[in-house]
Amino acid sequence: MNATAPQATKVPDTRGLAGQTVGDTAICEVNQTQLVYRGYEIADLAAHASFDEVAYLLLVGHKPSATEIAEFKREQGGLRAIPASVRDAVVRVVKESPSAHPMCILRTGISLLSHLDAECESNDPAAELRKSKRLLAQIPTIIGVCQAAREGRAPVEPDATLSHAANLLWCITGKKPDELTARVMDVSLVLYAEHDFNASTFAARVIASTETDLHSAICGAIGALKGPLHGGANEMAMEMLKDIDADCAGGAMSVETWMKRAFAEKRKLMGFGHRVYKNGDHRAPILRAWGLKLAANLGPSGQKWFDLGDSVQAIMLRDKAIHPNVDFPCGITYFCMGIPVPQYTPIFVASRITGWCAHAMEQHANNRIIRPLATYSGPAVQGWRV
C-alpha cells in the first residue's frame, strides 16, 4: 500500500505585516464585526455622537461631559486661524505649481506651522495635547486656503461658531452648509477618525518612536495617507465611477461590459476590499445610508451616482466576492456635496488627525523605538576582488 503523501502546509503571506500583531493600544479595536474607539462602537458613535465629541474622546481619552465639550468647541473655534505667512505660502505654491496635489500642499502647510509653534520640540504630554488641538483646528483652514487658491478666489476666514464638520465645508466651498450636509460630513469624519495600526497611523508611530516631534510624525502620516492604496482610494473610486459613466453614456456600453473589460485587463478597482474586513466594512453601509439622504435632496443628478455605484458593487460581489470599503460610498457622497475630488483625502486628514495624534501621544507615553527585523533574500556573501 502506498503511503499517502503529506499535504503541503500553506505558508501564510505576511508581506506588509499581514496578520502580524506589532503592539498594544488602548485607542482603537478593529475586528471582523466591530470598530471600537476607546470602548465605543462605531455605529453607536455615528448615530449618537458628533465628530467634536469623538475628537475629544480620542485626544483626551474619555467621553466629554456637557461642560467639557462646550469648552473644547469654544477652544477649537479660537484656534482655527493660521499665520499669514502660512496662508501666503500655500497660495504661492498653488499659483506656481497648479498641478501640486492638495495632500502635498497640506503636508507643507503643517510643516510650516511647526516652525511657528513655540512648543514644537516639546514631547511633554500636556504640550502634545495642546499641539494636537491646534492641528485639529487649523487643518480645515489650510485645506480651505488651498481650494480657494485653486479656484482663483480669496479664502474665507474660519467660523468659530460652526462645528468642525460645518467649518470644514465652509472653508472648502465658501458657503455655509445646510443642516443635512453638515451632518453627513460629520458622520463621515466620525467614521474616518481612527482605525488602529493602519499604514498612516503606523507610520506616525514609527516616526514618533524615534522621539522626534509631533509635527514630523503627522507629516509622515500624511505622506502615507496620500497613496491610492490607503487614503487616496476615495478619490480613485470616484474617478473610476466617472470613467464608467462616461464610457457607458448613451448606451455606448453597459456597466456589465465595462466591468468585464476591467477584470480582463486586471484593472485595480478602488474602493473595494479590506485587509481586515473580509466580510464587508461595516462603516460602508452607515455612510451609504447618509449619502442616500443627501442624494435624495439633489434628485436624479445625485441618485444616479449611487445607482451606478450599486451596479458596480453588485458585480464585484457576484464575480469577485469582494465587498466595498468605506471609501466607495465616501467618494460618491463627497461628490454629491460638490466637493472637488482632489480634496477628498485632505478631508480624511481633517478627521484622522485625531487618531494620529492620539497614537503619537500613546507611543511617546510608553516608548521604545520601533525597529523590526527583515529576512534577507539577497545573494550569498562573496568576495569583492575576483
Q: Which residues are part of the catalytic machinery?
A: 230, 274, 327
> 333 with 287: CB under 8 angstroms?
yes
> 333 with 234: CB under 8 angstroms?
no
> 356 with 217: CB under 8 angstroms?
yes
- How far does Cα 156 stand from its chain's mean position? 24
d(CA 11, CA 33): 26
Residue 299 grid cell: 434628485
List Cβ neighbours of 109 (8 Å cut-off, separation of 6 or more). 82, 86, 89, 90, 142, 145, 146
Closest CA to 243 of 271, 219, 212, 223: 271
Helix (H) or strand (E) holding 73: helix 66-78
List Cβ neighbours of 195 (8 Å cut-off, separation of 6 or more). 28, 30, 35, 201, 352, 355
Q: Put residue 200 in one of left, alpha, beta given phi > 0 → left and psi -120 to 50 → alpha.
A: alpha
Residue 322 grid cell: 469582494
SS3 30: strand
d(CA 222, CA 200): 7
d(CA 76, CA 161): 10
No. of helices (H) and no. of strands (E), the chain = 16, 3
